[in-house]
């Protein structure tokens, strides 16, 4: 073969695609204020040590510790003001890019509780084996009593009374989860401990998962809202009818990337259902690129060891209360109602009136969240007070001052992020579609999506070819997608297909 023939038959060399960085769909929010570390009370020391050693963003570190403490102390008490009962459950949403050490900080803050969960889980395996034997023996005896033809009905009833109810199933070892469905969370609260923590250092997995899918998101959002409120949970199960779960609590901390946050904060359903007003949301300044290695471990510092001891003490109080009360399976947590000290009450009323006076003024853009600021202040104050003393009889003025300062910080963040994320609907829809495309194309090489797929299976607002094409072109213009006419996708040639820019994938 001649050199010319070889050249003619050689396969065509296609240059490798050079992908540009996509253009933002909307502007970023203004820079945040520093987190008020001095308002963290007894948590200030361990938060500062974690900032010094791990060097993650300030609000990320603070939120991780607040969430962990909330998980424990929510099982001890409520705060009560003039007969109105407020749980101590905190919902936190912290926004940060990848490499912000979200998982590291979450692991450090929750380590004492995760260690206890491991111990309980391993003990549960042995207890379950014993319980199954007890149940088998109980069922055999019950069957023998009912099948004894020599006994009268009255004698059988007396024998069953002496036999008693079936053995109680051991407590579940699980109370920390990361990506549950709402039904799974309810099952955990029903069959296991009556308090739980939904902690996800990659919160996009929860927000993009089954619980927040089209068919389940309304139930999840409404259910989480009611759980934050402390309302009884109605549980409907096939064959069992409807049961009510009383005195259940859940703390939530979702750490998410900005792209995921934009989708959630711009979601009309989440806003209208009020779930966003229940979250303390922050997006701190990134520390990436400024961190020098520190040859220390946070866990070895006296501040952290004191924190771990206090957290264990609070959790032991919850366990002791539950295990000593046979009715706790049915009635849930035994919660004390803690009032505000007189000086704290006067300060809280002043803060309440101040917020109310500004709901039609500078707080109007976040009216839903601002309306809950006084309650957020109460919850934060209660969390700090019970961390300081799990047996506290009241909330002091000092702790309420801290709660108000923290609530004001999150209020300022809500105003800042609302301004930054208040975007035209076409751009918000483009973000939703992009998030859906990234999830849809996972596992495809290359990551391709086609027009018909988008309007058949994508978000409801793009369920026509015209609407889908407009959004796809918008994403193409911003560099998130590249048009690939007549490309093969999922085993067939698609006239209109688009490839996802690798830089767009979190």
- Encode 108-121 in three state secondary structure: HHHHHHHHHHHHHH
pLDDT of residue 382: 98
- The 3 state secondary structure assigned to 418-437 is HHHHCCCHHHHHHHHHHHHH
Q: How far apart are CA 270 and CA 260, in angstroms?
A: 13
Pairing of strands 84-86, 77-81: antiparallel
Q: What integer pLDDT is reported at residue 112 of this predicted model?
A: 97
* Per-residue pLDDT, 479: 94
Q: Which of 164, 112, 95 is nearest to 135 (CA)?
A: 164
Domain ranges of the chain: 426-504
pLDDT tens digit at each of 506 positions of the chain: 555 555 455 444 445 578 889 998 877 667 889 999 999 999 999 999 999 999 999 999 999 999 999 999 999 999 999 999 999 999 999 999 888 899 999 999 999 999 999 998 888 888 888 888 889 989 898 988 888 888 888 888 888 888 888 888 887 788 999 888 888 888 889 888 999 999 987 766 677 666 666 666 778 888 899 999 999 988 766 555 677 899 999 999 999 988 788 777 777 777 778 899 999 999 999 999 899 999 999 999 999 999 999 999 999 999 998 888 878 888 899 999 999 999 999 999 999 999 999 999 889 889 999 999 999 999 999 999 999 999 999 999 999 999 999 999 999 999 988 865 556 778 878 988 998 999 899 889 899 999 999 999 998 889 999 999 999 999 999 999 999 999 999 999 999 999 999 998 87
DSSP, residue by residue, 382-415: HHHHHHH-TT-SSB-HHHHHHHHHHHHHHHHHHH
- Could you give the 3-state DSSP secondary structure of residue 298? helix
Counting every residue written for the chain, the total comes to 506
Residue whose structure tokens are 């919660």 = 335
- 213 Cβ neighbours under 8 A, 6+ residues apart: none
C-beta separation of 168 from 79 below 8 A = no
Say whether the peptide bond before residue 446 is cis (omega within 30 degrees of 0). yes
- In whole angstroms, give the CA distance from residue 304 to residue 281: 25
Q: Which fold would CATH assign to domain 426-504?
A: Arc Repressor Mutant, subunit A (1.10.10)
pLDDT of residue 387: 98
Q: Which residues pair with 249 in a beta bridge?
A: 195
What phi, psi does 141 have (nearest 5°)?
-65, -40
At a CB cut-off of 8 Å and minimum separation 6, what does 336 contact? 76, 77, 78
Give CA–CA dist 139/151, Å, rounded. 18
Please state whether 7 falls in left (phi above 0), alpha (psi between -120 and 50) or beta. Answer: alpha
- Residue 14 is predicted with a pLDDT of 42
């Amino acid at each position: 073969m001649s050199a010319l023939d070889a050249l003619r038959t050689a396969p065509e060399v296609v240059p490798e695609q050079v992908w540009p960085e996509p253009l933002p769909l909307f502007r970023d929010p203004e820079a945040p204020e520093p987190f008020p570390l001095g308002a963290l009370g007894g948590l200030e020391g361990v938060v500062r040590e974690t900032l010094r050693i791990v060097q993650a963003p300030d609000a990320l570190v603070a939120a991780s510790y607040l969430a962990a403490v909330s998980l424990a102390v929510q099982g001890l008490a409520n705060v009560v003001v003039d007969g109105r009962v407020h749980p101590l459950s905190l919902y936190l949403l912290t926004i940060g890019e990848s490499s912000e050490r979200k998982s590291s900080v979450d692991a450090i803050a929750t380590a004492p509780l995760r260690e206890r969960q491991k111990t309980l889980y391993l003990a549960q395996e042995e207890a379950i084996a014993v319980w199954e034997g007890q149940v088998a023996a109980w069922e055999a005896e019950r069957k023998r009593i009912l099948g004894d033809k020599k006994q009268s009905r009255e004698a059988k009833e007396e024998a069953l009374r002496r036999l008693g109810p079936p053995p109680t199933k051991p407590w579940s070892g699980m109370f920390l989860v990361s990506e549950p469905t709402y039904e799974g969370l309810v099952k955990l609260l029903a069959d296991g401990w009556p308090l739980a923590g939904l902690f996800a250092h990659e919160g996009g997995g929860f927000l993009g998962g089954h619980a927040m899918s089209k068919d389940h998101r309304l139930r999840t959002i409404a259910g989480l809202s009611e759980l934050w409120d402390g309302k009884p949970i109605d549980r409907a199960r096939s064959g069992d009818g409807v049961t009510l779960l009383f005195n259940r609590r859940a703390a939530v901390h979702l750490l998410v990337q900005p792209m995921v946050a934009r989708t959630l904060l711009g979601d009309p359903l989440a806003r209208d259902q009020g779930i966003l007003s229940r979250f303390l949301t922050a997006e701190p300044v990134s520390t990436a690129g400024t961190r020098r290695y520190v040859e220390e471990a946070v866990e070895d510092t006296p501040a952290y060891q004191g924190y771990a001891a206090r957290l264990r003490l609070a959790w032991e109080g919850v366990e002791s209360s539950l295990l000593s009360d046979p009715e706790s399976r049915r009635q849930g947590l035994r919660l004390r109602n803690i009032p505000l000290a007189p000086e704290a009450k006067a300060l809280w009323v002043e803060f309440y009136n101040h917020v109310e006076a500004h709901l039609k003024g500078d707080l109007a853009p976040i009216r839903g969240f601002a309306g809950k600021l006084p309650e957020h202040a109460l919850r934060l104050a209660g969390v700090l007070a019970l961390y300081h003393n799990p047996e506290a009889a009241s909330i002091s003025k000092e702790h309420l001052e801290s709660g108000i300062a923290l609530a004001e910080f999150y209020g300022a963040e809500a105003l800042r992020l609302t301004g930054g994320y208040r975007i035209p609907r076409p751009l918000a829809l483009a973000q939703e579609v992009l998030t859906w495309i990234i999830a849809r194309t996972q596992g495809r090489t290359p990551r391709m999506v086609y027009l018909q797929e988008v309007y058949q299976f994508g978000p409801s607002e793009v369920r026509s070819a015209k609407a889908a094409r407009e959004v796809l072109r918008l994403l193409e213009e911003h560099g998130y997608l590249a048009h690939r006419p007549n490309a093969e996708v999922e085993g067939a040639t698609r006239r209109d297909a688009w490839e996802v820019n690798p830089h767009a994938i979190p």
